Chains A and B, each alone.
Chain A
């Protein structure tokens, strides 16, 4: 399992390989499904075009909270391994911002775990987005739809 917070862009292939190796180390031959998700920076918001974003984080806590989430997902969905990476700092339009991956014996657990990781990440990991437009910038407000997405996991078995 792994949780990474970094400024630099990432390589999906390398993260997939790291996840697979970690799953193999735990239960070689038992992994039947790997689901990964990559989030990108859109070039617009509700008010129009944007010129990229900046991610602020809480050094120390962000890494710990992300790792805790990966461990929780791993336990909840009986995964062979899981991983997450979130970028911080200035990120331009169309660039990669976040990656999560889950390796499980069967596909449903891997799909569910990837959704869970993203839904919960938006609730419990200290990261804050600011959007830029020309020389102006504005903090992104938390969305009620994100609260609902996280809440549904509280009620599911």
Chain B
């Protein structure tokens, strides 16, 4: 199955990638994706080493969430609006 990964703020700046497509095995969770991305490059490892929030299809969700084909996963640092 395929999912889209989006990044924002520091996560986007450090990785230099704001929108990538990933091929995953069935039943992959967000945690699985984060582990895979950390192994992708030093930049990804650095971007994902601290506190990272995760959203699936534009809703905040737990990293243990299982992904489905076509999902939009977003990874970003804690928010600082207001």
Question: Which residues of A pack against B, CB within 8 Å?
Answer: 39, 55-56, 58, 60-61, 64-65, 86, 97-98, 118, 121-130, 139-142, 146
Given contacts A60-B58, A64-B58, A139-B9, contact A55 B81 (CB under 8 A): yes
A122 and B81 contact, CB distance less than 8 A: yes
List chain B residues, Cβ under 8 A from A123: 79
Please provide the chain B residues from 38 to 78 with a CB less than 8 Å away from any CB of chain A in the complex: 51, 53, 55, 58-60, 74, 76-78
Contact A142 B80 (CB under 8 A): yes
- Given A58-B8, A60-B58, A139-B10, do A128 and B77 touch, yes or no (CB 8 Å)? yes
Query: B58, B74, B76: which has the most chain A beta carbons within 10 Å?
Result: B58
A130 / chain B contacts, CB cutoff of 8 Å: 9
B8 touches A125 (CB 8 A): no
Q: What total of A-B pairs shows CB separation below 8 Å? A: 71
Closest A residue to B53 by beta carbon equals A126
Given A124-B60, A127-B81, 9 more pairs with CB closer than 8 A: A39-B82, A86-B81, A121-B82, A127-B82, A128-B8, A128-B9, A128-B76, A139-B13, A142-B77
- Closest Cβ of chain B to A149, distance in Å, is 10
**A5–B9 alpha-carbon span in the complex (Å):** 17
Closest to A97 in B: B82
Q: Report the interface size for chain B: residues with CB under 8 A from the other chain.
A: 19
B82 touches A118 (CB 8 A): yes
In whole angstroms, how far apart are the Cα atoms of A129 and B58 in the complex? 19
Q: How far is the CA of A61 from the CA of B75 in the complex (A)?
A: 13
Q: Which residues of B contact A139 (CB under 8 A)?
A: 9-10, 13, 77, 80
Which residues from chain B contact A60 at a C-beta distance below 8 Å?
58
Question: What residues on A are CB-neighbors of B13 within 8 Å?
Answer: 139
Verify A125–B79 contact, CB threshold 8 A.
yes
Q: Are the CB atoms of A122 and B80 closer together than 8 Å?
A: yes
* Chain B residue, CB-CB nearest to A147: B78
Contacts of B10 in A (CB 8 A): 128, 139
Neighbouring A residues of B51 by C-beta, 8 Å: 142
CB-CB under 8 A for A61 and B55, given A126-B8, A139-B9: yes
**Pair A126/B82 contact, Cβ less than 8 Å:** no
**A58 lies within 8 A of B81 (CB):** no
